[in-house]
Amino acid sequence: MSGSGLSPLARTLEALLFLSPEPVSAEDLAQAADAWPDDVEQAVGELREAYAPGARGLLLREVAGGYTLATAPEAEPAARRLLAKPRTPPLTPAQAETLAIIAYLQPVSRPEITRIRGVSADSASATLLERGLVEEAGRSQFGAVLYRTTPLFLKLFGLGSLDDLPDPGQWDPTPEEEADLRERLLRAGEQRAGEPVAPASS
């Protein structure tokens, strides 16, 4: 390739291939870029040259479905170090609260979690599901999805079993209360909300 960069059409095709997770056919490229097939072919040629093996960290690959960008094999070890390890970023407060409710009350439904927290736990529980810390455990009698923790949860928290969860008594503001933990959490949640919580959709 010339050092001065790519033609406008080649730049557009590069952006399209970058964005698309799937290979894109020459026809689709032409249609999206509003260009003639001949021009697209020529622009693809420019890209092929720019992404010649050894030139960059990415390669232009021609597969059955069309064209796609992929990383060069040399970068694999670094990519593994960056991305293949289990992701354990610190839990956000919302995630920690949601995970604690699930850990101590399991199985527990999403509407119950919402009532205890006073705010929706949808995005927090989605993240916990995605990271494999919790999983679905059937449905409540009202049809709401129930959650429980996973074996990965125990491993990541260094717990042998759920019995090893710390006794929340030492953080309990009113440890003298006798009632069941679930009942007390629901009551406190409703008091914090200050008004009856609308029934959560499940």
Partner 1 sequence: MTVSELELDLEVFSGPFDLLLTLVLREEVDLLEVELADVVVGYLDFLAARGDLDLEVATEFLVLIAALLELKSRLMLPREEDGLPELEPGEAAEELLARMLEARRYRHAAQHLARLLAGEDGHRFRAAPLPRWLRRATAGDVVAAYDPTQLGAAIGGLLRAPAPLDLRHLATPRVTVAERLSHLRALLRHGATSFDDAVRGADRVTVAVTLFALLELYKQGEATWSQDEPFGEIRVAPLGRGAAANATAHGNGGGR
Contacts (CB under 8 A) with partner 1, residues 171-190: 171-174, 178, 181-182, 184-190
Q: Name which of 132 and 182 has its Cβ closer to a copy of itself.
A: 132
CA distance 96 to 102: 10
Binding mask 107-136 for a copy of itself (x = CB under 8 A): -----------xxx--x-----xx-x--xx
Residue 115 in the binding site for partner 1 (CB under 8 A): yes
CB of 192 to partner 1, least distance (A): 5
Burial grade of 140 (CB within 10 A; 0-12, 13-18, 19 or more): middle
Residue 144 in the binding site for partner 1 (CB under 8 A): yes
Contacts of 74 (CB under 8 A, 6+ apart): 57
Residue 2 in the binding site for a copy of itself (CB under 8 A): yes
Residue 64 in the binding site for a copy of itself (CB under 8 A): no
Q: Which of 124, 128, 134, 146 binds partner 1 (CB under 8 A)?
A: 124
User: What's the start-to-end Cα distance of the chain, in Å?
Assistant: 56
26 binds, among partner 1, a copy of itself, none (CB under 5 to 8 A by kind): none
Q: Which of 30, 44, 47, 197 binds partner 1 (CB under 8 A)?
A: 197
Which range, of 6-14, 26-34, 38-46, 72-80, touches partner 1 by CB under 8 A? 72-80
- CB contact at 8 A, 33 and 9: yes
Q: Which of 54, 90, 166, 196 binds a copy of itself (CB under 8 A)?
A: 54
CA distance 131 to 138: 19
| Residues of the shown chain interacting with a copy of itself in the complex, contacts defined by CB under 8 A | 1-6, 8, 10-16, 18-20, 24, 28-29, 31-34, 52, 54-58, 69, 71-72, 74-75, 77-79, 81-83, 92-94, 118-120, 123, 129-130, 132, 135-139, 143, 145, 192
